[in-house]
Amino acid sequence: MRNKNTSVLLFTLIYSMLIGGYLLFLISPRFLGANMAPIEDIFYQNSKIPKISAFNESLFIDGKDTFAAKAISEGWSGDGSLNDPYIIENYEIYATIEHGVHIRNTDLHFIIRNTTVNDGKLNNYYGFYFENVTHGRLEDNTAYNNQYGFYLKNSFNNTLIANTAIGNTNGLTLNCSYFNILTANIITDNRHGFSLESSYNNTISGNEVIDNTYLGFYLSSSYNNTLTENLATWNLNGFTLSYSDLNTFSNNTANNNDQHGFRLLSSHYNNLIENSASYNQKYGIYLEESTFNVITGNILEDNGWGAIYEKFTDDTDYPDVFLIAAIIFIYYNIIALLSIILIKLMFFIKRKNIKSFIPKLSLKKRKE
């Protein structure tokens, strides 16, 4: 009896261990792999969600005195100097009645970080708006669903690093702004991506401009800017230059865009060095009325219409006379051939009818 009880106990333990092992296997990440999003997908999805921070009304600062008073009322640390900048952080702002963060007419040193501005698009309000600002720094902020995510006008020596613009009409724009540094920003799912308008001597590196409806990187009447190691993919064009000269593009990637990797319109003396422009629907590099550009060491593979194309006014797209002549020649030859066949067919039918009529006449004569 004792041996029987021992056997039952041993069997129960073994059975429990097997069931437990099977249940552990079922809930293991390896087993769930088919139903779990990859880590990079989860990161991408989370990157598209605005950061959550303390709710606050819009921030408007005009001039040094206003800045100092606002710093006291908000309890910001710092004094606005180079070594002790004002620190503005951890806000969540809804830009429904005015621009989210609007700072103008100051050269004080300040840092804005971990702040989100949402929902200004409906009333044409901006997320982060600098106007005549020097020495500002935007770091790790998010602009979501605004008219402009980040907009710098007449602003100099500012730094934008690791910010995100999602779902805005315009992601990030510099207008008449010089000597700014823009690094590691993510501009995605906007109507237009990253734009420079009449802006000079800016340094733009390591930014990602992805899946915007129209413009990827766009330079209009902008000069002496340096763009390095940026990514532009799934936009209309990766990089577009319009009336922009003396810019340098190196080690950038412009792949899988709906039209061209790089498009230059009336833009001269630019350097395109060791970039990648591949798998675009049209050309890797498209030049229109653009001369004296240095294009070397670029990877231009598997573009739909070719690697590079250069077009000038004299290259007006006239109709292809030879092609039209060939089509007309073939058309009339086909008509002529069909006519000959039809005539021969009619002649054959008529001849056959005559032959069938002659024996009938001969038979009638014999009977007579």
Q: Which tens digit of pLDDT belongs to each residue from 256-312? A: 999 999 999 999 999 999 999 999 999 999 999 999 999 999 999 999 999 999 998
Residues 289 and 346 in one domain: no
For residue 332, the model assigns a pLDDT of 72
Q: Is the pLDDT of residue 160 over 50?
A: yes
Confidence tier at 345 by pLDDT (50, 70, 90): confident
254, amino acid identity: A
Q: Is the pLDDT of residue 323 over 70?
A: no
Residues 177 and 287 in one domain: yes
For residue 326, the model assigns a pLDDT of 66
For residue 346, the model assigns a pLDDT of 75
Residues 362 and 303 in one domain: no
Q: Tell me the C-alpha distance between 85 and 76, whole Å.
A: 10
Q: Is the pLDDT of residue 95 over 90?
A: yes
Residue 240 included in any domain: yes
For residue 8, the model assigns a pLDDT of 43
CATH number at residue 145: 2.160.20.10
Report the pLDDT averaged over residues 192-208.
Answer: 98
Residues 360 and 242 in one domain: no
Residue 36 included in any domain: no
Give the global pTM. 0.73
Residues 361 and 262 in one domain: no
Q: Is the pLDDT of residue 2 over 60?
A: no
Give the domain range for residue 84.
54-311
Q: How many domains does the chain have?
A: 2
Asked if residues 289 and 312 have their Cβ atoms less than 8 Å apart, the reply is: yes
Residue 144 included in any domain: yes
Region at 168 (left for phi over 0; alpha for psi -120 to 50; beta for the rest): beta
Residues 103 and 217 in one domain: yes
Residues 324 and 182 in one domain: no
Residue 19 included in any domain: no
44 vs 3, higher pLDDT: 3
Distance of CA 319 to CAs 106, 180, 324, 335, Å?
58, 47, 8, 24
Residue 153 included in any domain: yes
Q: Domain boundary residue among 274, 291, 311?
A: 311
For residue 34, the model assigns a pLDDT of 34
**Residue that is written with structure tokens 């059975």 in the block:** 15
Percent of the chain past pLDDT 70, that is, above it, reads 76
Residues 280 and 323 in one domain: no
Q: Is the pLDDT of residue 87 over 50?
A: yes
332, amino acid identity: Y
Mean pLDDT, the chain, whole residue set: 84
Residue 22 included in any domain: no
- Name which of 119, 128, 191 is nearest 163 in CA terms: 128
Residue 30 included in any domain: no
Confidence tier at 351 by pLDDT (50, 70, 90): low
Encode pLDDT of 243-259 as tens digits: 999 999 999 999 999 99
Q: Is the pLDDT of residue 17 over 80?
A: no
Encode pLDDT of 110-125 as tens digits: 999 999 999 999 999 9
Residues 300 and 339 in one domain: no
**Residue that is written with structure tokens 């799912």 in the block:** 189
Q: Domain boundary residue among 311, 326, 354?
A: 311
Q: Domain boundary residue among 265, 295, 311?
A: 311
For residue 52, the model assigns a pLDDT of 47
Confidence tier at 47 by pLDDT (50, 70, 90): very low
Residues 232 and 322 in one domain: no
Tell me how long the chain is: 368
Residues 298 and 340 in one domain: no
For residue 182, the model assigns a pLDDT of 98
Question: Which parts of the chain fold into alpha helices (H)?
Answer: 2-26, 29-32, 39-47, 64-74, 321-367
Q: Is the pLDDT of residue 228 over 90?
A: yes
For residue 39, the model assigns a pLDDT of 31
Residues 208 and 332 in one domain: no
Residue 253 included in any domain: yes
